[in-house]
Structure 1
Amino acid sequence: MTLPPDTPPPRFRPRPWIHLETPQAVELWIDEHNSALQELVQPQETGVGICFTLAEGGNVTMQTTGDAVVLDVDQEAEWIAPLISAATGAEPPRGRVWILPDDRLVQLILGLSTLVLSTTLVVGHPFGARGRRLGY
């Protein structure tokens, strides 16, 4: 996709994913991304999160709040639903937005780790109908 010459470059660029194999590695990744979000995202911005581009196709956009993990699974990534359920013990939602307890974040990232191609910070993502404030 080529952008018109007067289009500003994307604010955030995809970062190649490094497979995380232990809970400690996941916790370190969470801390690093939390710091990046706090540094790069303005407090008034909503729809803040991380988009996981899956190697086999599709995107899962994640946002954390004080007590929940919100996942927006696009249509191309619907194939990942059984893995999300297995990793977190959650039942699939009726729509594409999953709401998981915040204590499932490490298990979720461990479960997704081998399937992720890259990650990109996002702002302005609707997360269903709710563009939430920074809570990562």
Structure 2
Amino acid sequence: MTSPAENPPQPRFRPRPWDHLETPQDVELWIDEHNRALQELVKPQETGVGICFTLAEGGNVYMQTTGDAVILDVEPEADWIAPLITAATGAEPPRGQVWVLPDDRLVQLILGLSMLVQSTTLVVGHPFGARARRPAY
């Protein structure tokens, strides 16, 4: 008989290879697909819902959208991406690792990150810093 420690549970969501997005229309289609997946796969009571972008050059960026903001939790291993986030969105870097961007910057952000992403994974239960809010999808 094997113990749970020997056979840990499989992750609920698995990484998906990233297809580079080249136009705002590509990003809008990706956002629609992502929102449908969240609606189908995430339970209403779950919090910390978002997506993890695994960057090809190292590190993860977790993203959550709310009704009025895009929240990014940039892991220390991915802090090299800060100048790109600033260039794509016009936002100033935060003091910590959690960025709060206006929701109208989402398309520019995804276009800016697109060539650097290796894979994406849906996430639930991510803290998203002190600003964690329920997603708007």
TM-score, structure 1 length as denominator?
Answer: 0.95
Summarize the alignment of residues 1-136 of structure 1 with structure 2, pairs less than 5 Å apart. Answer: 4-136=5-137
Q: Render the CA deviation track for 1:102-127: whole Å, top value 9, x for unaligned.
A: 00000000000000000000000000
The whole-number CA distance in structure 1 between the counterparts of 2:23 and 2:85 is 17
Q: Render the CA deviation track for 1:21-47: whole Å, top value 9, x for unaligned.
A: 000000000000000000000111000
Which residue identity lines up with residue 17 of structure 2 in the other structure? P
Q: Which consecutive residues of structure 1, in runs of 5 or more, have no partner in the other structure?
A: none
Which residue identity lines up with residue 80 of structure 1 in the other structure? I
Residue 5 of structure 1, CA deviation: 3.7
Q: Which consecutive residues of structure 2, in runs of 5 or more, have no partner in the other structure?
A: none
The whole-number CA distance in structure 1 between the counterparts of 2:71 and 2:59 is 17
1:17/1:118 contact within 8 Å kept? yes
The whole-number CA distance in structure 2 between the counterparts of 1:99 and 1:76 is 19
Residue 69 of structure 1, CA deviation: 0.2
- Work out the number of aligned pairs and report it: 134
Higher Cα Rg, which structure: 2
TM-score, structure 2 length as denominator?
Answer: 0.94
1:43/1:134 contact within 8 Å kept? no
* Runs of 4+ with deviation above 6 angstroms: none
1:124/1:131 contact within 8 Å kept? no
Identity across the alignment (%): 83
The whole-number CA distance in structure 1 between the counterparts of 2:50 and 2:118 is 17
